[in-house]
């Protein structure tokens, strides 16, 4: 018997949403999951109508930043069953982030059960169009009402979901950052911590003022080795070999990144995870061997990169000629919606009719 208490909404908002035209990030499905940590254990797990929270002004998360999150997507199979994609990886990463920020872990089986129940209730919120999906946002934050720097005793874990349309991102232009950094060895770069994003806003804003969409982060010591981009890991195709920076402590371990590596290796491509310097990319561009650059993340899946500026060197990349990036987009979409083989067992179907 599940200990998740379920209170259904009495007035679904589903009919108010135009599923052919979903504004990004603004639409929320009917329900949310909420659990509380009382200092010793997770309690009061419930699914209830999506709504606002009431916060104490001294709530620790606001002042000292104990706040982490995940981002994942669900698709839907032809027979109408929601499909989660690698949910246990997201659960493990959430718990890795939690450990780094001195927060309690949330049990994997409860995490998956919460997702399943939520999707059963809100399965009619999953868009069916190609490239569309239901974005799932689990997050945890400190709730002690206290001023003083120490780990909170109490926390909340919440999961809400959002329908998202096909995310046609225009090719992105990147500015290799030569002053600010995202993460240094020993820092929190490997955690999906809210604060990492706060620190990235100013450099991103300055890059925008120069006509670039996002920052390409370089290492904190030499401004030489490539880390990642905003909310995405980065891939390069050089001389037919797919190269991506190794995750050595400063890079978020993207699940899309990991999926790409498996899919590409499985299809016979050569993939290298290693240090990638910006000089190597500039040399490859000059030599004409740099054929693709793309970002990998849950939101966009693949984002083609059309331009990279590093110091005075502006590199243009012909995104029309990309072959691997579009292949990956199709493969992931097919995996997520149940139309492709799933040799790794990444799909986690949720049977809608199976509510006990
Ligand atoms: C979430 C995130 C990614 C991408 O991870 P996915 O699991 O593929 O969505 C990459 N970089 C950063 C900084 C992130 O927060």
In tens, the pLDDT along 301-313 reads 999 999 999 999 9
Q: Is the pLDDT of residue 338 over 90?
A: no
Contact residues for 31 (Cβ-Cβ < 8 A; gap 6+): 8, 9, 47, 48, 49, 50, 118, 121, 122, 160
Predicted confidence (pLDDT) at residue 356 exceeds the cutoff of 70: no
Q: What is the mean pLDDT of residues 206-224?
A: 97
Region 151-161 average pLDDT: 98
Cα torsion through 326, 332, 333, 339, rounded to 10: 120
Residue nearest to ligand 1 atom 1, measured at CA? 231
pLDDT value at 2 more than 90: no
| 171 CB-near residues (< 8 Å, 6+ apart) | 303, 304, 305, 306, 307, 319
What pTM, to 2 d.p., does this model score? Answer: 0.96
pLDDT of residue 355: 47
Cβ(181) to ligand 1 under 6 A? no
CB 134 within 8 A of CB 140: no
Please tell me the distance from the alpha carbon of residue 179 to that of residue 177, in angstroms, as a whole number. 6
Query: Closest ligand 1 atom, CA of 253?
Result: 5
Residue range 59-70: mean pLDDT, rounded: 98
Q: So what's the pLDDT on residue 350?
A: 96
Look at residue 354 and tell me whether its pLDDT is greater than 70. Answer: no
The band of 339, judged by pLDDT with boundaries at 50, 70 and 90, is confident
Per-residue pLDDT, averaged over 93-119, amounts to 98
Ligand 1: residue whose CA is nearest its atom 6: 254
For residue 90, which atom of ligand 1 is closest to its CA? 7
- For the CA of 189, the nearest atom of ligand 1: 13
Q: Identify the burial level of 233 via C-beta atoms within 10 angstroms of its C-beta, where 0-12 means exposed, 13-18 middle and 19 or more buried.
A: buried
> Contact 144/151 with Cβ under 8 angstroms?
no
Nearest CA to ligand 1 atom 2: 231
Note the pLDDT of residue 168. 67
pLDDT of residue 1: 58
Say if residue 315's pLDDT is above 70.
yes
Q: Write down the pLDDT at residue 262.
A: 97
What is the mean predicted confidence (pLDDT) over 64-75? 97
Q: Using a pLDDT cut of 70, give the percent of the chain over it.
A: 99
Residue 37 pLDDT greater than 60, yes or no:
yes
Please tell me the residue having the least CA distance from ligand 1 atom 14.
Answer: 231
The alpha carbon of 233 and the centre of ligand 1 are apart by a number of angstroms equal to 7
Taken in order of first residue, the domains within the chain and their CATH numbers are 5-165+342-349 (3.30.470.10), 172-322 (3.20.10.10)
Nearest CA to ligand 1 atom 10: 232
Q: What is the mean pLDDT of the segment spanning 124-139? A: 93
Share of the chain above pLDDT 90, in %: 89
pLDDT digits (tens, 9 = 90+) for 341-352: 999 999 999 999
Rounded distance from Cα 230 to ligand 1 centre (Å): 8
pLDDT, position 129: 85
| pLDDT classification of 166: cutoffs 50, 70, 90 | confident
Expressed in angstroms and rounded, the spacing between residue 72 Cα and the centre of ligand 1 is: 10
Q: Chain-centre distance of CA 199, in angstroms?
A: 18
- Helix 324-336 × helix 255-266 angle, to 10°: 110
């Amino acid at each position: 018997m599940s200990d998740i208490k379920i209170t259904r909404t009495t007035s679904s908002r589903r009919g108010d949403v135009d599923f052919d035209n979903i504004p990004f990030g603004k639409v929320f499905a009917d329900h949310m999951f909420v659990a509380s940590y009382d200092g010793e254990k997770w309690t009061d797990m419930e699914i209830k109508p999506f709504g606002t929270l009431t916060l104490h002004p001294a709530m620790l998360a606001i002042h000292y930043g104990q706040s982490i999150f995940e981002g994942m997507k669900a698709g839907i199979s032809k027979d109408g069953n929601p499909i989660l994609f690698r949910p246990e990886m997201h659960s493990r990463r959430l718990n890795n982030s939690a450990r780094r920020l001195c927060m309690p872990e949330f049990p994997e089986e409860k995490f998956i059960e919460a997702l399943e129940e939520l999707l059963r209730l809100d399965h009619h919120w999953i868009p069916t169009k190609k490239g569309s999906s239901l974005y799932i946002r689990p997050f945890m934050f400190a709730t002690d009402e206290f001023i003083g720097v120490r780990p909170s005793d109490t926390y909340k874990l919440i999961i809400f979901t959002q329908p998202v349309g096909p995310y046609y991102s225009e090719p992105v232009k990147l500015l290799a950052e030569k002053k600010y950094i995202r993460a240094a060895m020993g820092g929190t770069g490997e955690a999906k911590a809210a604060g990492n994003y706060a620190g990235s806003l100013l450099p991103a804003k300055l890059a925008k003022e120069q006509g670039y969409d996002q920052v390409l982060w370089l290492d904190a010591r030499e401004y030489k080795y490539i880390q990642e981009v905003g909310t995405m890991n980065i891939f390069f195709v050089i001389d037919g070999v797919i190269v991506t920076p190794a995750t050595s402590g400063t890079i978020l371990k993207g699940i899309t990144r990991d999926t790409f590596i498996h899919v590409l290796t499985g299809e016979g491509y050569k993939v290298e995870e290693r240090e990638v310097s910006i000089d190597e990319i500039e040399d490859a561009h000059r030599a004409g061997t740099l054929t693709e650059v793309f970002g990998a993340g849950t939101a966009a899946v693949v984002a083609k990169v059309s331009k990279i500026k590093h110091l005075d060197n502006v590199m243009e990349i012909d995104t029309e000629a990309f072959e691997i990036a579009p292949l990956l987009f199709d493969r992931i979409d097919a995996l997520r919606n149940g139309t492709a083989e799933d040799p790794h067992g990444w799909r986690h179907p949720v049977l809608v009719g199976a509510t006990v």
